[in-house]
Structure 1
Amino acid sequence: MSDSNATDFTNPSTFILMGIPGLEAAHVWISIPFCTMYTIAILGNFTILFIVKIEPSLHEPMYYFLCMLAVTDLVLSTSILPKTLSIFWFNSREIDFSACLTQMYFIHCFLAMESGIFVAMALDRYVAICDPLRYSAILTNPMMAKISLAVVLRGCMLLLPGPFLASFLPYCRTNIIPHTHCEHMAVVKLACADIHVTSYYGLFVLFFVTGLDVFFITVSYSQILRAIFNLPMKDTRLKTFATCSSHLCAILAFYIPVLFSFLTQRFGQNMSLYFHVLMANMYILVPPMLNPIIYGVRTRQIRDRLLRLFSHKGT
């Protein structure tokens, strides 16, 4: 009997996503905040893209990076939410093997891209505050294109081995994934083979991408804060710091859930499985929802253009 079961699950054509294990009875209720966050993310990020497109004064490096962030957030949230909601609403749990690996790639690839965009935005703020006279000479359109291409290629190339390695693993235990989406470790743990290579690869990507990005952002902002505190007048210091506040809020909204989820996965073995799954969803859903709100509320140019747009429609 065991041999028969093993044969059935070797290289399965489909996986079964359980949703949130232990909270199946509450799936419909959980779908309400999930759907709300997704709706806000879609409307908010499309609004950011629209405002930057129609407002010529926003055609600057900072807002180009913001548009890249909005597109990344749209792809990131869309990579998991439609399937998650179909599980919650219609009990549609099956996902094709190749679709599962594709979803895995998109999730981690665009998480890496988002992290890289935050580094690029930190560089933009560093040049604007620490070397403002050379801002336009340094962040030219060709330089912007090179930075953007580097961010995209890094995400695409570094995360490509993940699904590639997972596709060659034999899956002879079960095809049931205790998750709402095809998260990398949730999938490879189902393999009946040594997964140390894929596990070490995941740690390498985490430290090489997230670790280095956090380091570069920290160095940039240490220089930015030093430059701000050296300004002679308090009002000038506050005004200059305000130009960075939205970026800092977005950074915290992205990295805190990611790092918290990683730490609980590695060291929170006593925590319930549903808590790990919920946290894995939060670090994908919360930043795309919060980023347009943060930049819309705290960035005066975007806020003013949005208010003018609504006041014009109202007249």
Structure 2
Amino acid sequence: MTSAPAGVSGAAAAAAGPAEAVRGFDGDRYEVIVIGGGPAGLSVGLNLVRARRRVLILDSNRPRHSATLISHGFITRDGVSPLELRALGREEFAAYPTAEFHQGLVGTITPGEGGFTVTSRGVRGSADRVVTAPVVVLTHGLAETLPALPSIRAYYGTALHSCLACDLFEKSDQPLALIGTATDLAERALIVSQVTDDLIVFTNGASDAVTEAEEAALAARGIVVERRPIDDLEGDRSGLTGVRLADGTIIPRTGGFVRPTWTVPDAHLAELTGLERDADGHLVVDAVGATSVPGLYAAGDLTPPGPQQLIVAAGAGARTAAAVARHLLGPL
């Protein structure tokens, strides 16, 4: 079940040209195109328009965390809705005269002399666009595939969550489930055990999700590993009530966490020859967010190590914005 989604050489910077060569353009020519309007993208955009750069943010308005009602851990915004956080960020960005936001789905990113051409398909009545800029910043995040359980969407974002840093405290002292098949399940279980003494790890039949040594270590902490396959989740009007195994056994639980599979949406990256990625498909960047393609930057969840807290993504966006602003000045 899926939901949406190296430093730059002096020659590359010269090819982008100094900012003054771009400022005179109108219409569909920008200094920076940011693809993705979450915390990372909005942070990039806000910091760059404050540097008086002409910035376009392209966003589909289909965030991965759309099922989450409340987010936590963002200083001054603890407990805010993720959608409200995006709306506030968009409002702040749009208040600057060189800012523009457009709702659309990115089709292609084509490198060329002096920068990139980006196409997008309009959604919800917005127009299709063909825009250009010397710099593109990718901040569109990841696609998320949840465990294949028929009723999981009914509880995801309320009883079940994927972000431990965001939602762990609210599950304190409850009988919890941790469901997944990834090999980091034991490590995640250890983190969940900070808030509850009643935790069961469900590997859903995956033999390699938790090793025997890890199971023994978890057992020493009072954490149970359940290896039998899951049929579905149980619940009523009060919410989640249990996990039903394939053999019919129902194990009472009131909440917990799932470990999704995260992937980088990459159809629009096809023309970016030489784009370096790690073993998990994340875009490899340097300390300031520059990718292996000159003029192309990335920040947020689609860079290693993957999913991050909202405040961490926003911080990465601010750091990358500073690097992009310097890039646009060209070499000394």
User: Above 0.5 in TM-score?
Assistant: no
Name the one with the larger helix percent: 1
TM-score norm. by structure 2 comes to 0.31
